[in-house]
Amino acid sequence: MTDCGCDKAKAELEEFLHNELDAKDAADVAEHMANCEDCSHEHLVGLTLTEKVRQACQEQAPSELRDRVLNALS
C-alpha cells in the first residue's frame, strides 16, 4: 500500500465514509488518515455529520402535523 496523499484522501472522503471505494483505494485512504492528523480530523467530522443526518432522518413529524399537511393537500 502507498500513502495516497491529502488531495486524494480528501477527494475520496465521501465515498470512503459510505464504503463506496474499492478495497485498494479504501486501504490507501485509511492508511493516509492513520498518519495525517488533518485528514483524520476531516474524517471524524464527516463521520459525525453522517451520523447526525442519519439520526435526524429517523425523526417523525407529530401525527397532528401530518394530518394538517395531508388535509391541506387534499
Walk me through the domains of the chain, giving residue ranges and CATH numbers.
Answer: 6-73 (1.10.10)
List the one residue out of 19, 72, 9 whose CA is nearest residue 50. Answer: 19
pLDDT of residue 15: 95
pLDDT of residue 34: 92
pLDDT of residue 46: 94
pLDDT of residue 74: 87
pLDDT of residue 5: 85
CA distance 46 to 27: 18
pLDDT of residue 1: 55
- The pLDDT tens digits for 39-59 are 999 999 999 999 999 888 888
List the one residue out of 56, 64, 5 whose CA is nearest residue 29. Answer: 5
Q: What is the pTM of this model?
A: 0.67
Crossing angle for the helix pair 23-35 and 37-56, nearest 10 degrees? 120
* Low-confidence residues of the chain: pLDDT under 70: 1-2
CA distance 3 to 22: 16
